[in-house]
Structure 1
């Protein structure tokens, strides 16, 4: 804390060994924080940093990192459904910032729409060092447009150092970044309009080959075990709708996306630098034709139902 201009470290609470992504453990921490008169505020924000893998629950199949991970005692991870259960007993948040990979997926934001005004994150892998908190923390206290300012404070330090990955290291991250902020109160309208403009049956196998995929977890021999497929939602909607339908949909999408910025290339730990040309900041899933366990689980998301994707034969 700041005491007369000096930064002083104060121990607030000490915890023994525990599962930091457990539901009951997190609920306990939240209860202590939000019921403590010392920490009352007019509004709240939340930063979730860890490994991430979008909307996928755990365990589903081997090879991915899911939503949150604690390997201190085994391998524990937090599902979005568990996160929602925790948020039900927490104050409403002005923003949730995901400092974790692949979290700006429409399936995630839609599940969280009742618990936060904004979801901020990246649709692809984030920089190794994570957020520049010396820039991000002051932005959290913005009197207006905090979510946009936080997203900018995440992106701009990396954009300033961007050099196409030359001399890349965690202490010299020159590989850029991509950050998006979504306004959650506009997602119900986006789902409704998506449902209105969707066509009939779509060849999803062909579609997966045509749409930009933020998930680069693949090798020279094809997809690696960790690959899920986080496809650019706007790319997909433009491909499968007629021009009038897409323009209507795009207006709703642009209303929901209040900030999107990316350097021209980003870095993947799996393939190195890759182009971000034509991307729009929010991912969605496109199922395979094999009806895998991932495909089946996708159909259990609220976004799949509300946005009417059953009409496509998915």
Structure 2
């Protein structure tokens, strides 16, 4: 009996000890950071863009100051030159914004999948969170591969307007004057793109870099041109839940961060409010051109299945291309409105209805101004048909012909 009581006593002590250890190690979910946003601004090749990107960061800080709080953690990767970049944290305490240095990077590894993985690992190590998101500010040209460009349409830097130039205010008064005569013109985030394609980042490498860090982003906001395309959304389907981007060119001032910041800097982003705020801002802007979409990348595989069946039963007619809604400024277009393209391609009503049902699930919310501007050809394009996402299947542009069959989207739908 004594032996039995002795064993029972030992068991009770052991259980109490385990319970005590469990209590000591218990983690309150409310104490864990819910969201870390990384603002990723790699080198673009021109000082003007760098100045504008700094203004974007100022706008974010202004939104934080106005709200008198910073939800979650905010890190910034900012390239000060082609071969030098800094990672730092923005904090807000007692009404004061502070920058805390984390790491300095040398070289151009930020253009590679491995380099992006390293940056994201540094982010996780310094600002762990339940959810991660990225805001990418740079120039963009959609899904296209940098190695496929042999005659990239760079613009002469000498024609750029500098914010401290006397012509800067004049540009606001005369935004459509042709820059070739030495006069101002509206600038976009394609116009005056990087002058060395080796500094560009392929979407494939971005996706690999994110996945290499063991992350799936809550969202990626592309404050860049031409990123709301189905090829990019499909490539990023395992790297992010949502893609926020434009079908067309983004004016150089970019996303109005002070307006939209609160809609995204939260554990439960309100994408519809983000799009509405963007659209409201640009409709009243002196250069009233802008389109933005929230795309659910988790739903693109179902869209691809329907698209594969459409391609199996239909063959694109070259004569229809001239009537399609173009959403870019290239002499030979690359980016066509996807909804309009499939409406013209698909001759089966039930299949077409199925496509639009899937498309509605992918493009959860979108908005555009009545016309869109291209800094590439310095023209406005009237938006007659708009689905919030583009496709390059019908493109005859040499870059598209070289690259589109390499995309995961093409392989999944043909």
Answer yes or no: same fold by TM over 0.5: yes
Matched, 1:152 2:240: no
Structure 1 Cα separation of the partners of residues 289 and 367 of structure 2 = 10
Q: 2:118 aligns with which of 28, 34, 57?
A: 28
Structure 1 Cα separation of the partners of residues 124 and 204 of structure 2 = 21
Report if aligned partners of 1:118, 1:147 keep a CA contact under 8 Å in 2: no
Q: Structure 1-normalised TM-score?
A: 0.81
Q: Which residue of 1 aligns with 2:346?
A: 241
Report if aligned partners of 1:140, 1:149 keep a CA contact under 8 Å in 2: no
Q: Which residue of 2 aligns with 1:202?
A: 316
Report if aligned partners of 1:142, 1:149 keep a CA contact under 8 Å in 2: no
Q: Which residue of 1 aligns with 2:388?
A: 281
CA shift in 2, pair 1:74/1:285, >3 Å: closer
Structure 1 Cα separation of the partners of residues 407 and 365 of structure 2 = 25
**Max Rg structure:** 2
CA shift in 2, pair 1:189/1:78, >3 Å: same
Matched, 1:110 2:234: yes
Query: Any stretches of 5+ residues in structure 2 without a counterpart?
Result: 1-90, 155-188
Structure 2 Cα separation of the partners of residues 293 and 137 of structure 1 = 35
Q: Which residue of 1 aligns with 2:289?
A: 176
RMSD: 2.5
Bigger mean CA deviation after superposition, 43-52 or 4-13: 4-13
Report if aligned partners of 1:20, 1:70 keep a CA contact under 8 Å in 2: no
Q: Structure 2-normalised TM-score?
A: 0.63
CA apart distance, 1:16: 4.3
What's the CA shift string for 1:22-49, capped at 9, x where partnerless?
Answer: 434333222211122xx11121111112
Q: Which residue of 2 aligns with 1:213?
A: 326
Structure 1 Cα separation of the partners of residues 137 and 292 of structure 2 = 14
CA shift in 2, pair 1:78/1:303, >3 Å: same
Bigger mean CA deviation after superposition, 118-127 or 81-90: 81-90
Structure 2 Cα separation of the partners of residues 210 and 70 of structure 1 = 32
Q: 2:258 aligns with which of 131, 134, 139?
A: 134
Structure 2 Cα separation of the partners of residues 19 and 154 of structure 1 = 32
Structure 1 Cα separation of the partners of residues 102 and 263 of structure 2 = 23
Query: Any stretches of 5+ residues in structure 1 without a counterpart?
Result: 163-172, 218-222, 309-314
Report if aligned partners of 1:97, 1:121 keep a CA contact under 8 Å in 2: yes
CA shift in 2, pair 1:83/1:289, >3 Å: closer
Q: Secondary structure at the match of 1:149?
A: helix
Structure 1 Cα separation of the partners of residues 350 and 108 of structure 2 = 53
Task: Choose between structure 1 and 2: higher helix proportion.
Answer: 2
CA apart distance, 1:239: 0.7
CA apart distance, 1:229: 1.4
Q: Secondary structure at the match of 2:359?
A: helix
CA apart distance, 1:75: 4.3
Structure 2 Cα separation of the partners of residues 156 and 89 of structure 1 = 37
CA shift in 2, pair 1:127/1:150, >3 Å: same
